[in-house]
Structure 1
Amino acid sequence: MILSYTNIAIKLALGLISLIIVINITGKGNLAPSSAIDAVQNYVLGGIIGGVIYNNNISILQYLVILMIWICLVLSMRWLKTNSSFFKVAIDGKPVVLISRGKLDTEACRTAGLTAHEVMFKLRSNGIYSIKTVKQAVLEQNGQLIIVKAGEENPRFPLITDGTIQLQALDSIDKTEEWLMEKLKEQDVENISDVFLAEYENGNLNLVKY
C-alpha cells in the first residue's frame, strides 16, 4: 500500500480543525478531561484520527463526515448537560460522599470502586491521617477527593449550582433546606431555579442569578 502524504496531511489538518471547533464552542479552553465522558470523547477522537489517516480506503469526504458526527455528538452531550440536571447526572455521574462526620461509608466506597487502602492514601495525600478528623469527604467525578475538616466553617462546595440545591454542601455546614430558603427570601429570591450559583462564606450567602 502506497501512502499519500497529501491525504495524511489533509486528514491531520481536518482533525486539528475539529479540535479547535470543539474547544472554542464548548468554551473549555482545552481538552483536559474534567469528567469520565470527557476522557471517552478524547479517546474516541484519537481512535478516529489514528485509525483513519493511514487508511487509504477511507476518503477525505468520509473522514470529514465522521468528524462532523463526532463534533455533533460532543456538542449535543454538552448541551444536554448544561440544560438538564437529569442528563448531567446520567452523563457525568455525581459526587459520592465517602466520609460524613468522621464515619466512613463502606457501601459508598464500594460503589466508587475504592478499597480502604485507596481511601486512606487519598486522605494522606491531603494531610489527613485519621477519618475522625474529617467532617466530610466527597469523591468528585474526576476522582479528586474534596475534604472538609472538623471545625471548618466554610464549605468546599457551593450550596446551589445550576438551580439545584447541593445537599451535601448544606450538611457540611449543619444547615437545612428551610434555612437556605429563608436566606434566599431575604435576597428576594423565591425560586431555586433562578439561582445560577450560591456560595456560603463567613456566614454570608453570595448569589449569582441567571
Structure 2
Amino acid sequence: MAYEYLKIAFSTTVVYFFIILALRLFGKKELAQLTTVDLVFILLISNAVQNAMVGPNSTLSGGITAAITLFIWNYLLKLLLYRSRKLDDAIQGKPILLIYKGYVNEENLRKTRITFEELYEAVREHGVKEVKEVDLAMLERDGNISVLSDSFSKKTLKKRKSHRAVKQNTE
C-alpha cells in the first residue's frame, strides 16, 4: 500500500518538473497572455497529466498524495530559486526588452513569438496611444508585458502635483 503512494509521489514529481520544463521551452508569454486556445490547452494538459500522476488510483488519498507532493516540490523549488540567482534565471528566465525609446526590438519579438498586434495591445492597455511614446516595454519573467512611457510619467507627476495643491489648499 505504501508503495502505491510512493509511486504516485514519484509520478507527480516527474509530471511537475516536466510541466515546468515545457513552459520554459515553449515560452513565458503563455503564462500571462492567455487566449482561448491557450486556456483550452491548459485545461487539456491538466486533464492529460492527471492520470499520469495518480494512475488507476482515483481515491481521495491518491489525490491528496499527488497534491501534497506538488505542494512540497513547489515550496522546495521556490526556496531554491530564492537562494540561487543562476537557477532562478535558468528556470524562470530574464526580462526581455521589447521596446526602447519608441523603437520595437523585432528580433526579441521573434524570439518570444509575440506579434506586433499583441505588443500594440499591451501598449494600449497601459494607456499609451502609440509605440513611439513608449520609453520601455519588457516581457517580464511572469509573462506580463510592462510598459513605461514618458507621457505616463508626466500624467502621474501632474496628478501628484494637483493632489498636493488640493491638499495644501484644504489645510
Q: Normalising by structure 2, what TM-score?
A: 0.51
Displacement of 1:47 after TM fit?
A: 4.8
Which protein is richer in strand relative to its size? Answer: 1
* Distance change (3 Å), C-alpha of 1:55 and 1:108: closer
- Say which SS state the counterpart of residue 98 (structure 2) adopts: strand
Partner of 2:26: none
Q: Summarize the alignment of residues 22-101 of structure 1 with structure 2, pairs less than 5 Å apart.
A: 36=31, 47=47, 51=51, 57=57, 62-101=62-101
The 1-side partners of 2:147 and 2:74 are apart by 31
- Say which SS state the counterpart of residue 99 (structure 2) adopts: strand
Task: Provide structure 2 residue ranges, at least 5 long, that are not aligned to the other structure.
Answer: 1-29, 32-41, 155-171
Which protein is richer in helix relative to its size? Answer: 2
Displacement of 1:100 after TM fit?
A: 0.9
Partner of 2:142: 142
The 2-side partners of 1:143 and 1:49 are apart by 23
Q: Normalising by structure 1, what TM-score?
A: 0.43
Give CA-to-partner distance per residue, 1:133-187, whole Å, 9 cap, x none.
Answer: 111111223332212213648xxxxxxxxxxxxxxxxxxxxxxxxxxxxxxxxxx
Give CA-to-partner distance per residue, 1:52-100, whole Å, 9 cap, x none.
Answer: 9x98645666555434432332122111111111111122222111011
RMSD: 3.6
The 1-side partners of 2:107 and 2:56 are apart by 51
Task: Provide structure 1 residue ranges, at least 5 long, that are not aligned to the other structure.
Answer: 1-34, 37-41, 154-210
Of the two structures, which has the highest relative contact order with CA contacts closer than 8 Å and spacing of 6 or more? 2
- Say which SS state the counterpart of residue 143 (structure 1) adopts: coil
* Distance change (3 Å), C-alpha of 1:57 and 1:72: closer
The 2-side partners of 1:116 and 1:48 are apart by 33
What residue identity is the alignment partner of 1:111? K
* Distance change (3 Å), C-alpha of 1:57 and 1:73: closer
Partner of 1:129: 129
The 2-side partners of 1:149 and 1:77 are apart by 35
Sequence identity, in percent?
A: 21
* Distance change (3 Å), C-alpha of 1:60 and 1:150: closer
- Say which SS state the counterpart of residue 77 (structure 1) adopts: helix
The 2-side partners of 1:67 and 1:101 are apart by 46
* Distance change (3 Å), C-alpha of 1:56 and 1:107: closer
Displacement of 1:105 after TM fit?
A: 0.3
The 1-side partners of 2:99 and 2:115 are apart by 14
Higher mean C-alpha deviation, range 60-69 or range 94-103: 60-69
* Distance change (3 Å), C-alpha of 1:100 and 1:58: same
The 2-side partners of 1:117 and 1:150 are apart by 22
* Distance change (3 Å), C-alpha of 1:105 and 1:55: closer
